[in-house]
Structure 1
Amino acid sequence: MKTVFAAALAAVSLCGAGVAQDQDYLNPAQPDGADLPDGLAHTVFASGCFWCTEADFEKLDGVVEVVSGFAGGTEPNPDYYDVARGRSDHNEAARIIYDPAVISYQALLDHYWRNVDPFDDEGQFCDRGSGYSPGIFPVSAEQAATAQASKQSVQALFDRAIVVPVRELDTFWPAGVEHQDYYETRPARYQRYRFGCRRDARLRQIWNGVE
């Protein structure tokens, strides 16, 4: 999760929106995005380990915040270890808060596909189990239609089935503070994990040479 203050946002002209400190986004989030400042939008993606999903999206211009958390399940306020160990029906996921005047939902989808193994619905990379399964969680009918069309476009590139589901979002549950910005707060451990999981090696294997 980026630490973003109103002054910083004004400096990069993100619609002049005043986004408060990180703690403001460590609350359950509904699809309507009622907690967002005017002019900002959100969506939710799951691509395995949420530390990696967060790091992958925070580099994009127009992305204001990325929050690691959980989506897709039924129980309230899921526990990290329950999700990681498959004792929950939630997925590790990330909430992407963005300025649609700077980056489109389609561009976020394009970035998502290049950072997920679209053939694996039983986990992602070295992380196995339902808690690490991928998924796209649109927050509106418009996003859902765009996501389905994007999935069909990706399917046309391969002769294997794309198994990433497009699922309705109920509630996004943020993970604890210790999981936010993990790639920045624990960079050495994060890099060891990401390299050891062979995430980037697998992504290169899938996507290199794919137009």
Structure 2
Amino acid sequence: MKHFFIPTFIFLLISCGNNAQQKTVTKPEIANADPVEVEAEDGFEKAYFASGCFWCVEAIYESVEGVKEVVSGYAGGHTKNPTYEKSNTGKTGHAEAVEVIYNPNVVSFETLVEVYYGSQDPTQVNGQGPDIGSQYRSLIFFQNEQQKQTIEKVKKDVAKNYKKPLAAEILPFQKFWKAEAYHQNYEKNNLNNPYIQKVSIPRLNRFKDKFPDILKKEAH
């Protein structure tokens, strides 16, 4: 489980979770499946991303203009009804992920993909920052061929800036499982948590410095 009340002096020993698994566990039947397309609701579309602790990723996307809401959850695995405790073992195949509900007339899917690659270390394999293990691996999901081509286009442009290969797996979307209630809006609701102070907020601030033109005016 995540460490909620740990003194700052041992922060380097903590992460978003502690039962890390070292190997990527995406099964071939997941990677080779036909993508599932999620219908728009009231003009809002949904996109799905994973890049480390969902506390961090949720806060980043919620600061983007045109994003209505971000939900923390699990995706990319082979088990049904994953829980935090089970996914944190790495054995479910799921990664901590987010569902981004957005207005495509305000922010494009391509911009969301640019945010994805630009808000993490895209070369880090099987984790992000201090969070190591398959449950923190980077996954980016497409729902149709057009989205897949958009992801590949952005990936190609981003890769020019790095000597190492980009680590994110590009997968056909299958299903998103919503995480437990206490994970939702975690960064906003737990500003004094050592992990939030030392990892989430600095990561959010780096993103905001990099993408000032797409931020909500009220972005915290």
Query: What TM-score comes out, normalization by structure 2 length?
Result: 0.73
Match of 2:37 in 1: 32
Post-superposition Cα deviations, 1:85-122, rounded to whole Å, max 9, x if no partner, equal 32320000001110000001111111111211111122
Q: Which runs of 5 or more structure 1 residues have no equivalent in the other structure?
A: 1-29
Tell me which of the two structures has the higher relative contact order, counting C-alpha pairs closer than 8 angstroms and 6 or more residues apart.
2
Does residue 161 (structure 1) correspond to residue 150 (structure 2)? The answer is no
Structure 1's consecutive aligned runs of 4 or more residues displaced over 2 angstroms after TM superposition are 30-34, 194-201
DSSP 3-state at the match of 2:98: strand
**Following the alignment from structure 2 to structure 1, what is the Cα–Cα distance between the partners of residues 187 and 36?**
27
Deviation of 1:32 after TM superposition, in Å, equals 2.8
Q: One-letter code of the match for 1:53? A: V
Match of 1:114 in 2: 118
1:169-188 superposed matches below 5 A: 169-188=173-192
**Mean alpha-carbon deviation: is it higher for 50-59 or for 151-160?**
151-160
Match of 1:76 in 2: 80
**Following the alignment from structure 1 to structure 2, what is the Cα–Cα distance between the partners of residues 147 and 183?**
27
1:114–1:195: structure 2 CA closer, same or farther, 3 Å change rule? farther
Match of 1:196 in 2: 198
1:27-106 superposed matches below 5 A: 31-34=36-39, 36-106=40-110
1:196–1:184: structure 2 CA closer, same or farther, 3 Å change rule? closer
1:124-163 superposed matches below 5 A: 124-163=128-167
**Following the alignment from structure 1 to structure 2, what is the Cα–Cα distance between the partners of residues 174 and 198?**
20
Q: Which runs of 5 or more structure 2 residues have no equivalent in the other structure?
A: 1-34, 211-220
How many percent identity over aligned positions?
A: 34
Contact 2:36 2:172 in 1 (8 A): no
Contact 1:46 1:91 in 2 (8 A): yes
**Following the alignment from structure 1 to structure 2, what is the Cα–Cα distance between the partners of residues 195 and 188?**
6
Q: One-letter code of the match for 1:196? A: K
**Following the alignment from structure 1 to structure 2, what is the Cα–Cα distance between the partners of residues 125 and 84?**
16
1:199–1:125: structure 2 CA closer, same or farther, 3 Å change rule? farther
Deviation of 1:188 after TM superposition, in Å, equals 1.3
Question: What value does the CA root-mean-square deviation take over the aligned residues?
Answer: 2.3
Post-superposition Cα deviations, 1:124-170, rounded to whole Å, max 9, x if no partner, equal 11011100001111222211110011111111111111111111111
Contact 1:48 1:124 in 2 (8 A): yes
Q: One-letter code of the match for 2:94? A: H
Post-superposition Cα deviations, 1:45-69, rounded to whole Å, max 9, x if no partner, equal 1010001100000011100110000
Would you say how many aligned residue pairs link Structure 1 and Structure 2? 174
Contact 1:42 1:139 in 2 (8 A): no
1:159–1:199: structure 2 CA closer, same or farther, 3 Å change rule? farther
Q: One-letter code of the match for 1:172? A: F
Deviation of 1:199 after TM superposition, in Å, equals 8.0
